[in-house]
Structure 1
Amino acid sequence: MAPARPGLLGYPSDNPTILAQQRKQLAAYVIQDVLEAAGRPIQINAGSVRMSVRWIHFDTEVRVSLSDAIYGRMFPRTMSGEFYHYTGVEAFKSIANEGSLRLYWLRKRMGQPIEGELVNLARLEGWHILEADIEAAYDDPKIQDSPGSNLFYASLTKVDGGGDLWSFGPVRLHLRVDTTGKMGQLREIQYHAPGGATLLGEINDALATKGLPPILPLSSYRMAANSVPAGFAGEAETRLLHLHFEGQPDERQRDSDNGFYWPIPINGCCAVADVTLLGVSVNSVANLARACKAIENSPLSSIEPICVPPTVNH
């Protein structure tokens, strides 16, 4: 029989105070072991562990290290690049008139659970309480402060190697997006099939076998917004995502559907991301005339739209 690891001698103790400390130490060992096996080793001191019935939490330094170790592999971040953004003609008119790209309110998509917004990763990772909160938001759009309420995003695809998303809209914006030193994040969407294994799922499974609650790392809501079901993999989507934190300037605007959006100035600077318009393409001659009219005398009038048949691979 292997000797007890430090801090676990006599586990489980009959003394509630000692048992609570042992459980924290055990959680630290379990998490460290899984991460080390995955080639992402970190050190977790039991004193940094905070445990409730629902979740395991950590002090700030460990939270950051743990999030980087897990999500840095699952959802690698891109700091900058060139992307396409597909949109409709009417939406393009608004973009041109305002001179801004709209980040859409993720909360609005709670009424479209087929795409698995937020809940896809929650199910994979065994976040049953978070999953219940998300499903409640599906059922009642009026719930305040529900998951997704402070998340805003734009769907993009890489210029090189991205998806052909003309089905998203007949107007394609060619953008340079830079999030270096900004609040916004660029990450490729990950397409997770039901029952698929993830590093975080392995950790939570290992914790569950020891009778311990799951972990919910820093940035989990934000990462969950980058996971959708595998059936959408053909989209090869990258998201520009902004999570608004309480106490920060709130620049969200009301839209015509009684929701919100977050405007990002095009060819300007802001705290979320720097976005530059490099070109505009449309999928038909008819839409070319409409796009030219929309951009005329707008803040983006220096760009001349062109027609690119969708059958051509660009």
Structure 2
Amino acid sequence: MTSGSIIDDMARRDAILNILHAALERHGISLEMNRMDFHLREKVIVEQTTARAGLSAAILDFIFPKEPVPSTVYHYTGLDAFRAIISSGELRLRPVRNRLGQGGELEAFAQAHGLDGYLNSSDGEEFYKILSDDLFYVSLTRAIPKDPSLMWGVFSGGTGVRLEFMVEPKPAASLRPIYYERSGATTLLREINEALRIAGEPPFIPWTISRIGAFYLNWTVATEDEVRLLIKRHRDGVDCTKTDGTSDYWPIPLDQANDFCDLKLTGIHVAPNGSRDEITSALNGTRFSKVPVTGP
């Protein structure tokens, strides 16, 4: 590279850095970045290494702020699933693949942020669908959901339970609220990439892009007010998944230390039309027999 091209490259990098800083500062985010932190590729801009992916993390944390640690959350479920959780002593995270087509899982984020490569099916299945096999989740709500009657009716079948958990995710897991797409609204990532587009630069693609997409749904399911516990399976990393013959799942043991998420069952709430006697009977003889049961 000649001295002239080196100077041009540094000037370009400084201009990009100014765009990034300006976008962050509009939202009160201060982040130390260096002009050499980025790979400037033909079609995208990415950070140099995942170890120092500060901008990627800042975008994720701003759009989907982490829940407090530890957090008290609810999980609404029917009687059969409740019995399975109690008998196995674990909460099973299922692949996002199982929810494709519901609320725009992964697809809505890719469409909103112009990630055409994730939507391209010319070489086979769309890439966002392939990604969904390695993202494992469970749907939760905050301890005071927006619409408890909806939660009871849709997710517990009206006669099930609401499990109360104390959740403390480890670094390998994420507990974040779902961002529901709203008409006319934008995201920090979209703001950054629009500013880059105006400057004639390619878009910035965060290292955390697949996880970001798993916390973004369209407006059709906004009433669920979901908080999601998510773990990503890395094919060359630790893989705790099992299969039940229907799909893979990632088990999180209850009331037991593990490397992914401490999950303590602190209460069981019986649905308004449920049977408290049936719930206490299911608990008898299990290690959860002392967990408080409330309800009719």
TM-score category of the 2 structures, normalised to the smaller one? 0.7 to 0.9
In 2: Cα distance, 1:219 partner to 1:39 partner: 21
2:155 corresponds to which residue? 168
Moved more, 41-50 or 259-268: 41-50
Query: What amino acid is the match of 2:59?
Result: I
Q: Contact 1:24–1:50 at 8 Å: present in 2 too?
A: no
Cα distance 1:63–1:208, how it changes in 2: closer, same or farther (>3 A)?
farther
For the aligned residues, what is the CA RMSD? 2.9
Aligned residue for 1:154? 138
Unpaired runs of 5+ in structure 2?
Answer: none
Confirm or deny: 8 A CA contact 1:124 1:195 kept in the other structure. Answer: no
TM-score by structure 1 length?
0.80
Contact in 2 for aligned 1:175/1:278 (Cα 8 Å)? yes
Residue 53 of structure 2 aligns with which residue?
Answer: 64
| 2:278 counterpart of 1:268 | no
Corresponding residue of 2:89: 99
CA distance in 1, matches of 2:48, 2:198: 24
Compared CA separation, residues 182 and 24, structure 1 to 2 (3 A): closer
1:84 counterpart (71, 74, 78): 74
Instruction: State the alpha-carbon separation in 1 of the partners of residues 27 and 273 from structure 2.
Output: 52
Per-residue CA distance 1:32-82 (angstroms, 9 max, x = gap): 222233322334333222122332111237952212332222111122211
Question: Does 1:243 find its partner at 2:227?
Answer: no
Query: Structure 2 counterpart of 1:211, which letter?
Result: G
- Decide whether aligned partners of structure 1 residues 62 and 23 sit closer, same or farther in structure 2, where only a CA change above 3 A counts: farther
Q: Once the two structures are superposed, what CA deviation does each residue of 1:120-169 show, in whole Å capped at 9, x if it has no partner?
A: 22222222222337xx757xxxx898112221111111113554211111
1:307 corresponds to which letter in structure 2? G
Distance in 2 separating the partners of 1:203 and 1:228: 20
Partners of 2:255 and 2:265 within 8 A in 1? yes
* Cα distance in 2 between the residues matched to 1:126 and 1:249: 31
The letter for the 2-side match of 1:208 is: R
**Equivalent residue, structure 2, for 1:9:** none
1:196 offset after TM fit, Å? 2.3
Shift in Å at residue 174 of structure 1?
Answer: 0.9
Shift of 1:264: 0.7
Partners in 1 of 2:258 and 2:51 — Cα distance?
30
Q: CA deviation at 1:287?
A: 4.4
Identity %: 29
Count of residue correspondences: 286
Where does residue 29 of structure 1 map in the other structure? 18
- Does residue 190 (structure 1) correspond to residue 174 (structure 2)? The answer is no
* Deviation larger for 215-224 or 34-43: 34-43
TM-score by length of 2: 0.84
- 2:290 counterpart of 1:298: no
Of the structure 1 ranges 225-234 and 200-209, higher mean CA displacement relative to structure 2 is found in 225-234
Residue 154 and residue 293 in structure 1: after superposition, are their counterparts in 2 closer, same or farther (change >3 A)? same
User: In structure 2, how many angstroms separate the alpha carbons of the residues matched to 1:24 and 1:128?
Assistant: 25
Structure 1 pair 248–285 and aligned structure 2 pair: CA distance change class (3 A) = same
Summarize the alignment of residues 8-23 of structure 1 with structure 2, pairs less than 5 Å apart: 23=12
Q: Name the aligned partner's letter for residue 30 of structure 1.
A: I
3-state SS, counterpart of residue 146 of structure 1: helix
Note if contact 1:281-1:306 (Cα within 8 Å) is conserved in structure 2. yes
Partner of 1:115: 103
Contact 1:89 1:171 in 2 (8 A): yes
User: Does the CA-based 8 Å contact 2:134-2:232 persist in structure 1?
Assistant: yes
**Any residues of structure 2 matched to 1:131-146 within 5 Å, and which?**
131-132=119-120, 137=125, 146=130
The verdict on how the C-alpha distance between 1:33 and 1:293 changes in structure 2, with shifts beyond 3 A counting, is: same
